[in-house]
Amino acid sequence: MKILVAVKRVIDYNVKIRVKADQSGVETANVKFSMNPFDEIAVEEAVRLKEAGKAAEIVVVSMGPTAAQETIRTALAMGADRGILVASDDELQPLAVAKLLKVLVDKEQPGLVILGKQAIDDDSNQTGQMLAALCGWPQGTFASKVAIGDGAIEVTREVDGGLETVKLTLPAVVTTDLRLNEPRYASLPNIMKAKKKPIDTVAPADLGVDTLPRLVTLKVEEPSKRSAGVKVADIATLVDKLKNEAKVI
């Protein structure tokens, strides 16, 4: 079985985000980028499935500028076999990404597609669901455990009420949650080997997909600063503040 994993290049989660002066977006100049943490989990799960003999090949796909090749190389160093970069300097929104992935799924014919449940830059949590709909495949979102059987996969999902286990017929789409696994660090020998692994580069036009944004960002601004908390002497004072200052009762 072939597994296709989608990864995204995002601003590193340790970086303090700064809004541009014109409020058109966040500052990306001279900022460290890395693989989306949820996508790291997706790559790790694909590698574990391959190591368990459940998969024969792992193909990693990323979309964005040429620098996104670094993100693909990271996945290759973790254990993926080859990469595909859909090169674009334009903004790629979830629907466009899902359409591009659909074309690549038709071409590669994977038995399983694994994605992070969301990217930490836009927090959309839409691409996996849209891809499943476009492909007409079953989907298991927010996966905290997966187990592949004969022509099917069992996905334990994290839902509001606890855990839910669903059985999906392959091929299927799975999106990963934080508790699925702990991604490995790429060793130096594997990093060196990853430099020799192939990465194909295509453009959205080559795949016949219109990536024109459907949504327009009007303004980006920092959240308002919260006032400091205060200690109250007794319950009567607390009730008074909740009623007259916070106005929540």
Q: What is the CATH number of domain 2-222?
A: 3.40.50.620
Residue with tokens 């007409």: 136
Among 25-29, 134-138, 190-194, which is the least confidently predicted range? Answer: 25-29
Q: What is the pLDDT of residue 154?
A: 96
Q: What is the pLDDT of residue 98?
A: 97
Q: What is the pLDDT of residue 223?
A: 84
pLDDT digits (tens, 9 = 90+) for 208-230: 999 998 888 899 888 888 878 88
Q: What is the pLDDT of residue 247?
A: 84
Q: What is the pLDDT of residue 33?
A: 94
Using the predicted structure, report yes or no on whether residue 107 has a pLDDT greater than 90: yes
Q: What is the pLDDT of residue 108?
A: 96
Percent of all residues in the chain with a pLDDT value above 90, rounded to a whole number: 76
Using the predicted structure, report yes or no on whether residue 29 has a pLDDT greater than 90: no
Mean pLDDT in residue range 68-89: 96
Confidence of residue 30 (pLDDT cuts 50, 70, 90): confident
Confidence of residue 24 (pLDDT cuts 50, 70, 90): confident
Q: What is the pLDDT of residue 193?
A: 93
**Mean pLDDT rounded to a whole number for the chain:** 93
Give the residue from 67, 104, 58 showing the smallest Cα distance to 209.
Answer: 104
Confidence of residue 201 (pLDDT cuts 50, 70, 90): very high
Q: What is the pLDDT of residue 205?
A: 92
pLDDT digits (tens, 9 = 90+) for 144-161: 999 999 899 999 998 888
Using the predicted structure, report yes or no on whether residue 4 has a pLDDT greater than 90: yes
Among 2-6, 54-58, 97-101, 230-234, which is the least confidently predicted range? Answer: 230-234
pLDDT digits (tens, 9 = 90+) for 158-188: 888 889 999 999 999 999 999 999 999 989 9
Using the predicted structure, report yes or no on whether residue 79 has a pLDDT greater than 90: yes
